């Protein structure tokens, strides 16, 4: 009898493989970082070969460390950094160029030209605002800027994929070219009402349909892992979801109105809106959460482009701390932010502002400012960006948030979680298992092969680790928010040329 599900969690800075048992407990983890490339200001790239080699090596490592035979693995699930765009040759499997990462801004000017004539059309069909963040303009850029790419694409010789599709292609030895609706809905080419690739949008971006993967549900058997990578048996790949939707599922936010935030490289906040697409009036995104057994669940989403990445910058750019965790103890050397506010929009501003030309800004520095104040302002800057998105969500659905579920690496910081509860003035709830992104992919894969019976069985596994209650007075929280929004205004539209 199979005892485990393996989740492949392919993130922006590292690839991980995690073994889960039937109780949803983490049995073993393997992780490997891979390089980021910044060829020009505002450009961010990955090497698709390095994504693949890091991911397949941690898969082999975690199987070896856990010492499990193939017949004990019920299924493999995939969760991935979303929007990151790659195109490869169908015959050779060779990428035509580096992957263009979701953070990349090279197509911002082109996206600006589309906003006036097509903004409403794209929002209605895809649930997205026009931005360089999404895949469509990245695909177009690759076809127009890599020698011979457009001609090959017109002949049907190239394949496009987000990271899930690339991993599935590689794991099955090039047999399967598939994505799921949670990833397809982030391309700006997928109609989330019709649940299909949209010909009008393909024409607008000048992208041949032959490039695109088939869209299957988030929980079904797509193919089997090639025996080169897991020897001794046919292990099904049976679950796919983009990282934020996977975390929503892993947090068991399966009821309408439930909210989670993942604190990773960026911060991504999703609210389950059930079987209906909620059209945001406050610059949030409507997106597919998942599709299981023919039923589609939608979500509202707000993304902070720079969350944990702000801490990385304080570590690597400012060199105020040697490790990311050390920012907590440095921030605790001061009682408050000393009037310092850091708006960490180091890659433009996401929801609800959508300002591609905003830049990181530190305000309120005086002679009395210390490294502790900057450390604290960094953590507050992450929490305050999240606050702005929650308020926009509350306006869209006409209801206030009662409980806020958190996960991701930075949610392990008690100080950050306390700051979050303080600015919200309501409870922030951290689960026992923080690996909710990988867990969500494992649950989707396990459901497809009967490892778990249904979502009700899974929901019983979710457990609280700690509830953070507000300790700051409402007056003090209002004061912090006033100056925060002043700082946000200063950061906006910084780049003019």
Q: Is 409 annotated as a binding residue?
A: yes
Whether residue 45 is annotated as binding a ligand: the answer is: no
Spatial separation of the C-alpha atoms in residues 321 and 426, rounded to whole Å: 31
The answer to whether 171 and 60 are in contact (CB under 8 A) is no
Provide φ and ψ at 218, rounded to 5°.
Answer: -80, -10
Q: Is 463 annotated as a binding residue?
A: no
To the question of whether residue 83 is assigned a binding role by annotation, the answer is yes
Work out the burial of residue 181: count CB atoms within 10 Å of its CB; fewer than 13 is exposed, 13-18 middle, 19 or more buried.
buried
Q: Helix, strand, coil % (nearest 5) of the chain? A: 35, 25, 40
Annotated binding-site residue? 308 = yes
Mapped onto helix, strand or coil, the DSSP state of residue 53 is: helix
How far is the C-alpha of 229 from the C-alpha of 321, rounded, in Å?
A: 39
Q: How crowded is residue 3: how many other Cβ atoms within 10 Å of its Cβ?
A: 15
Q: Is 243 annotated as a binding residue?
A: yes
Taking only Cα atoms into account, the Rg of the chain, rounded to an integer number of angstroms, comes to 22
- Contact assessment for residue 11 and residue 264, using Cβ atoms and an 8 Å cutoff: yes
Burial of 92 per CB tally in 10 Å (0-12, 13-18, 19+): exposed
CA–CA separation, 131 and 334 (whole Å): 38
Do the annotations mark residue 66 as ligand-binding? no
CA geometry: angle at 485 spanning 102 and 258, to 5°? Answer: 60
Q: Is 263 annotated as a binding residue?
A: no
| Residue 496 assigned to a binding site | no
Q: Is position 13 annotated in a ligand binding site? A: yes
Q: Is 16 annotated as a binding residue?
A: yes
Q: Where does residue 222 rank: exposed (0-12), middle (13-18), buried (19+ CB within 10 A)?
A: buried
Which residue ranges make up the annotated binding site for sn-glycerol 3-phosphate? 12, 82-83, 133, 243
Which residue ranges make up the annotated binding site for glycerol? 82-83, 133, 243-244
Which residue ranges make up the annotated binding site? 12-14, 16, 82-83, 133, 243-244, 265, 308, 312, 409
Which residue ranges make up the annotated binding site for ATP? 12-14, 265, 308, 312, 409
Which residue ranges make up the annotated binding site for ADP? 12, 16, 265, 308, 409
């Amino acid at each position: 009898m199979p005892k485990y599900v393996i989740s492949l969690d392919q993130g922006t800075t590292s690839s991980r493989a995690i073994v889960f048992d039937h109780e949803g407990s983490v049995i073993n983890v393997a992780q490997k970082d891979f390089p980021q490339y910044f060829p020009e200001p505002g450009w961010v790239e990955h090497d698709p070969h390095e994504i693949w080699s890091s991911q397949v090596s941690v898969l082999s490592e975690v199987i070896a460390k856990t010492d499990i035979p193939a017949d004990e693995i019920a299924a493999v699930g995939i969760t991935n950094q979303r929007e990151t765009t790659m195109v490869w040759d169908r015959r050779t499997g060779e990428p035509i160029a580096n992957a263009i990462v979701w953070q990349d801004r090279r197509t911002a000017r082109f996206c600006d030209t589309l906003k006036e004539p097509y903004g409403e059309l794209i929002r209605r069909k895809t649930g997205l605002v026009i931005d360089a963040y999404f895949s469509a303009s990245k695909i177009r850029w690759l076809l127009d800027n890599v020698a011979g790419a457009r001609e090959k694409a017109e002949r049907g010789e190239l394949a496009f994929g987000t990271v899930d599709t690339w991993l599935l292609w590689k794991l099955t030895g090039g047999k399967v070219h598939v994505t799921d609706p949670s990833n397809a809905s982030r391309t700006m080419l997928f109609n989330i009402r019709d649940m299909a690739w949209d010909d009008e949008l393909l024409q607008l971006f000048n992208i041949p349909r032959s490039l695109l993967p088939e869209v299957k549900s988030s929980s079904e058997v797509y193919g089997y892992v090639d025996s080169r990578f897991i020897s001794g048996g046919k292990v099904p790949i049976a679950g796919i979801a983009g990282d934020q939707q996977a975390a929503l599922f892993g947090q068991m936010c399966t009821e309408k109105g439930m909210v989670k935030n993942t604190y990773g490289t960026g911060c991504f906040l999703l609210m389950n809106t059930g079987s209906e697409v909620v059209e945001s009036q406050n610059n949030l995104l409507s997106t597919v959460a998942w599709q299981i057994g023919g039923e589609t669940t939608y979500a509202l989403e707000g993304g902070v482009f720079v969350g944990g990445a702000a801490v990385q910058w304080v570590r690597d750019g400012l060199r105020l701390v040697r490790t990311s965790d050390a920012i907590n103890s440095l921030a605790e050397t001061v009682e408050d932010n000393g009037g310092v506010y850091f708006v960490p929009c180091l890659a433009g501003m996401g929801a609800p502002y959508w300002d591609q030309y905003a830049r990181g800004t530190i305000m309120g520095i005086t002679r009395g400012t210390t490294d502790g104040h900057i450390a604290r302002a960094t953590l507050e800057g992450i929490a305050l960006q999240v606050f702005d998105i929650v308020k926009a969500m509350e306006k869209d659905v006409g209801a206030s948030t009662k409980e806020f579920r958190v996960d991701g690496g930075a949610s392990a910081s008690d100080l950050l979680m306390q700051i979050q509860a303080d600015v919200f003035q309501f409870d922030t709830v951290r689960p026992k298992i923080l690996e909710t992104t990988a867990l969500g992919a494992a649950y989707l894969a396990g459901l497809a092969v009967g490892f778990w019976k249904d979502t009700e069985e899974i929901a019983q596994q979710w457990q609280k680790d700690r509830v953070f209650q507000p300790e700051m007075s409402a007056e003090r929280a209002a004061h912090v928010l006033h100056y925060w929004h002043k700082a946000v205004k200063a950061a906006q539209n910084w780049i003019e040329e």
